């Protein structure tokens, strides 16, 4: 009986230890985690990845655990501080350095702090008494290789996640209404122009809506991302001011905005296009104190979204409070962020 009890306790301790290890790895390497949301379910972000790549994208901490065996867990703990990793990198390049040489190369503040980190690296860094210098031990060279492997996987994960988002928006179809939360202009453009170029390839008229102050810049960026002058000249691609489209005469009326979109749709269909693909910034509503009107517009648009339009609404993350975000997710079929992609659960 006591044997079974001890085994059970041992198993519980092992589970707790592994969970703590995964949490520690996530903390060390700053992996994002996706928040839970009752009305959304995680969808397959890439249509062409195998299960192993999918696991890498969605469980990076698990992948880090796979890189480090049980025997090497202490190794990862030893290199979980940037100063220690910097020490290892310096010794890798210089082969051997004295305490004072290390102190001059690394901004640690005082000798005591450097000594503390060197003691933590005792199994990875050897001190030669004859030369009074530090050099990498065999385990230290292993640690340098591990750091390189981890950094490579982290970079691949970042690239894969962006590729996943790009592939996802390229597979959106007419009738889809999506919400993109962006933290940088670069991320917004990567997603928006990939989406708009795919719409152009499907013979849809593309509209990119940005604030008035960005029109010239975004015209140059469009060319950089592969939108040709010919596509602009023949009306296939258009950049519009969000203030002009949404806030005419300082007013933001949902019915008028939607009527304008329907007029543009009819115009482009008459010209021979299959429909519209739209990437639209809406932060001008906030800049003009029209957040209430914005939520009304999004809600009304969701109720009568045109079947010949595919749209991504672009919002800078920090402009939304929790209540606004909840209301906006209810008005869209898809939610796209840097960390994850979700699709509304239509079965709910």
Domain boundaries, the chain: 18-171, 173-344
Give the containing element (helix H, strand E) for 14: helix 2-29
Angle, helix 138-170 to helix 82-94, in steps of 10 degrees: 120
DSSP-derived 3-state class of residue 253: coil
Q: Is the pLDDT of residue 308 over 60?
A: yes
Structure-model confidence comparison of residues 45 and 297, the more confident one: 297
Q: In whole angstroms, give the CA distance from residue 186 to residue 192.
A: 10
Helix-, strand-, coil-residue percentages of the chain, each rounded to 5: 60, 15, 25
Average pLDDT, the chain: 78
Domain 18-171, architecture per CATH: Orthogonal Bundle (1.10)
Best CA proximity match to 328, nearest among 305, 277, 294, 281: 294
Q: In whole angstroms, give the CA distance from residue 136 to residue 59.
A: 32
Per-residue pLDDT reduced to its tens digit, 166-202: 889 999 999 999 999 998 999 999 999 999 999 999 9
Tell me what pLDDT residue 297 has: 95
Cβ neighbourhood burial of 165 (10 Å; 0-12, 13-18, 19+): buried
Tell me what pLDDT residue 72 has: 57
Q: In whole angstroms, give the CA distance from residue 205 to residue 83.
A: 52
Segments in 176-334 forming alpha helices (H): 185-201, 215-224, 229-233, 242-246, 254-270, 283-287, 291-303, 322-330
Tell me what pLDDT residue 83 has: 86
Tell me what pLDDT residue 231 has: 77
Confidence of residue 159 (pLDDT cuts 50, 70, 90): low
Q: In whole angstroms, give the CA distance from residue 180 to residue 28.
A: 28
Best CA proximity match to 283, nearest among 218, 212, 235: 212
Tell me what pLDDT residue 38 has: 32
- Give the length of the chain: 348
Q: Give whichever of 157-166, 229-238, 292-301 has the largest mean pLDDT.
A: 292-301
Confidence of residue 45 (pLDDT cuts 50, 70, 90): very low
Best CA proximity match to 309, nearest among 268, 276, 332: 276
Q: Which residues contact 213 (CB under 8 A, 6 or more apart)?
A: none
Tell me what pLDDT residue 30 has: 38
Q: In whole angstroms, give the CA distance from residue 77 to residue 71.
A: 12
Per-residue pLDDT reduced to its tens digit, 240-292: 999 999 988 778 899 999 999 999 999 999 999 999 999 999 988 988 899 99
Tell me what pLDDT residue 239 has: 93
Structure-model confidence comparison of residues 329 and 104, the more confident one: 329
Q: Could you tell me what percent of the chain has a pLDDT over 90?
A: 37
Q: Is the pLDDT of residue 5 over 70?
A: no
Single pTM value for the model:
0.58
Question: Would you say 258 and 189 are in contact if contact means Cβ atoms under 8 Å apart?
Answer: no
Q: In whole angstroms, give the CA distance from residue 289 to residue 302.
A: 22
334-336 and 177-182 as β-strands: parallel, antiparallel, unpaired? parallel
Tell me what pLDDT residue 42 has: 35
Per-residue pLDDT reduced to its tens digit, 76-131: 777 778 888 888 888 888 778 999 888 888 766 678 888 899 998 988 899 998 99
Q: Is the pLDDT of residue 138 over 60?
A: yes
Range with lowest mean pLDDT among 18-22, 170-174, 304-308? 18-22
Question: Would you say 271 and 241 are in contact if contact means Cβ atoms under 8 Å apart?
Answer: no
Q: In CATH, what number does 173-344 get? A: 3.40.50.300
Range with lowest mean pLDDT among 8-22, 117-131, 167-181, 315-329? 8-22
């Amino acid at each position: 009986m006591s044997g079974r009890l001890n085994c059970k306790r041992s198993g519980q301790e092992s589970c707790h230890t592994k969970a703590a290890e995964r949490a520690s790895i996530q903390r060390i390497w700053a992996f994002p985690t996706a928040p839970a949301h009752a009305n959304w379910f995680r969808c397959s972000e890439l249509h062409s990845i195998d299960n192993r790549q999918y696991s890498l994208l969605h469980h990076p901490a698990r992948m880090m655990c796979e890189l480090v065996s049980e025997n090497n867990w202490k190794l990862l703990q030893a290199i979980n501080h940037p100063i220690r990793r910097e020490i290892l990198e310096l010794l890798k390049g210089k082969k051997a350095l004295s305490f004072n040489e290390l102190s001059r190369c690394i901004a640690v503040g005082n000798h005591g702090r450097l000594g503390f980190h060197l003691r933590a690296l005792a199994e990875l860094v050897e001190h030669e008494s004859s030369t009074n210098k530090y050099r990498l031990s065999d385990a230290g060279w292993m640690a340098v290789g591990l750091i390189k492997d981890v950094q490579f996987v982290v970079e691949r994960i970042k690239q894969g996640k962006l590729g996943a988002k790009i592939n996802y928006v390229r597979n959106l179809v007419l009738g889809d209404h999506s919400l993109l939360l962006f933290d940088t202009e670069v991320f917004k453009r990567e997603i928006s122009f990939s989406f708009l170029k795919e719409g152009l390839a499907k013979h849809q008229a593309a509209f990119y809506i940005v604030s008035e102050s960005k029109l010239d810049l975004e015209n140059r960026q469009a060319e950089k991302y592969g939108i040709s002058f010919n596509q602009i000249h023949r009306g296939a691609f258009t950049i519009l001011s969000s203030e002009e489209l949404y806030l005419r005469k300082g007013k933001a009326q949902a019915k008028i905005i939607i009527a304008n979109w329907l007029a543009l749709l009819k115009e482009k269909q008459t010209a021979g296009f299959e429909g519209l693909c739209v990437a639209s910034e809406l932060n001008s509503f906030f800049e003009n104190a029209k957040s209430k009107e914005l939520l009304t517009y999004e809600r009304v648009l969701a109720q009568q979204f045109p079947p010949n339009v595919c749209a991504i609404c672009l919002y800078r993350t920090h402009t939304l409070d929790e209540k606004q975000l909840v209301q906006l997710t209810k008005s869209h079929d898809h939610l796209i962020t840097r960390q994850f992609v979700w699709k509304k659960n239509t079965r709910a």
